[in-house]
Amino acid sequence: MTIPTVKQDERELLTEPRAGLRAGLQVGVLAAVGGTPLVELGRLYPDLDARLYAKLESLNPGGSIKDRPALEILTVAIGEGRVGPDTVIVESSSGNMGIGLAQACAYHGLRLICVVDAKASRQNVRILEVYGAEIDYVAEPDPATGEFLPARLKRVQELVDGIPGAFWPNQYANEHNSGAHFRTTMSEVAAQLGGKVDFVFCATSTCGTIRGCGEFVRKNGLPTRVVAVDAVGSLIFSDQKGPRLLPGMGAGLRPPLCDLQYIDDTVHVSDLECIAGCRRLVRREGILAGASSGGLVAAVVKLRDRIPAGATCVVILPDRGERYLDTVYSDEWVRSHFGQVGDLWPEKETVL
């Protein structure tokens, strides 16, 4: 399956506010998107001989890193006249991108249709509805591949074809997705650490985050190694398809935004490694984070032999943990899916 790429001109302009952005659009709650804190994780791995920092994307108003591309894509489209007051926005997402778009569409009073499938969590669907998004259900996976993504994309195309002037943000291929991370996420990290970043770890799905961060690193000549963290069983960097229970990380294809020239290392993490990482984050650092965040901190340990002493490492933690209480943080759920796996909670360690 191929996903058409949305062209973007003048990438160089992205370090500056884009010419296409209409002044005054980033107001109200949308003015709170981005500018997230970077905190040191000094207690997570006491014997790690490196400085580890976390970018807390959970503190975006919609609760995740996807507020950034959702806002960027819509803002550019409004600036270019592709989205106006009567435009219907149609996107395939039941997760963070859908919520980021729903937030921006609610603010602007725009109609949003989210195409979701049977795997969407009830809680996320409720959040989308509360923001005012309309839900379009895809009940059956694509018969050829058994995957839901192609079936959802087919449904998006049908809706877009049937609604005059409809706008499809197309997060898997829209370069303003990665553009948001180039213009904001990585430039914030670089500024927060004075350009001294030896490793940046990014979770991958659409590859918007890693592409934008990687391009920023290369174009600004930073000495940073860019590490992709993907789910075991995902087909972005491997052809070993396997079951993935946790949402966020991974994809059933290599998205058009994935450009290997911007990626130095790839680490695969299992669902259980994500869970153990999350539980360590909340008990050792007091950070209640989503599944992929656990995968990111697990990846640092997996790569530690290649991290020189004293290096500065950054993990970009995509979202918060409240939406994972019934999965990642539920012992019952973990046991029911993985069997008796022992205790995944870290031992208590008092540091005063």
- Distance between CA atoms of 294 and 280, rounded to whole angstroms? 8
- Minimum CB distance to ligand PLP smaller for 150 or for 179: 179
Figure out which of the listed residues 209, 234, 312, 327 binds ligand PLP, where binding follows CB under 6 A. 209
The stretch near ligand PLP (CB under 6 A) out of 15-23, 207-215, 268-276, 344-352 is: 207-215
Q: Which residue is nearest to ligand PLP (CB)?
A: 248
Number of residues lying near ligand PLP (CB under 6 A): 18
87 binds ligand PLP (CB under 6 A): no
Report the residue number, 100 or 150, with the smaller CB distance to ligand PLP: 100
**C-alpha span between 232 and 267 (Å, rounded):** 9
For residue 116, give the nearest of 146, 91, 142, 144 by alpha carbon: 91
Give the one residue of 60, 87, 184, 206 binding ligand PLP; rule: CB under 6 A. 206
DSSP-H helix ranges across the chain: 67-79, 96-108, 122-131, 148-162, 175-180, 186-192, 208-219, 271-280, 291-302, 331-338
DSSP string, 253-316: S--TT--GGG--EEEEE-HHHHHHHHHHIIIII---B-HHHHHHHHHHHHTGGGS-TTEEEEEE
Please state whether beta strands 265-269 and 225-231 pair in parallel, antiparallel, or not at all (unpaired). parallel
Give min distance, CB of 54 to ligand PLP, in A. Answer: 14
Span of 91-99, 153-161, 264-272, 305-313 interacting with ligand PLP by CB under 6 A: 91-99
**Interface with ligand PLP, residue 270, by CB under 6 A:** no
- For residue 166, the one-letter residue type is A
Q: How far is the CB of 72 from ligand PLP (least distance, A)?
A: 12
- Based on CB atoms, which residue is closest to ligand PLP, 159 or 263? 263
CB of 164 to ligand PLP, least distance (A): 29
Interaction between residue 290 and ligand PLP (CB under 6 A):
yes
**Which of the residues 130 through 189 are near ligand PLP (CB under 6 A)?**
none
Which amino acid is it at 286?
Answer: G
75 vs 174, beta carbon nearer ligand PLP: 174
**N-to-C CA span, the chain:** 54
In contact, 247 and 95? CB cutoff 8 Å = yes
Give the Cα separation of 46 and 282 in Å (integer). Answer: 15
Q: What residues between 51 and 80 interact with ligand PLP by CB under 6 A?
A: 64, 66
Phi, psi angles (nearest 5°) of residue 289 = -120, 165
Minimum distance from residue 295 beta carbon to ligand PLP (Å): 8
Q: By the criterion CB under 6 A, which residues form the site for ligand PLP?
A: 64, 66, 95-97, 203-209, 248-249, 290, 292, 318-319
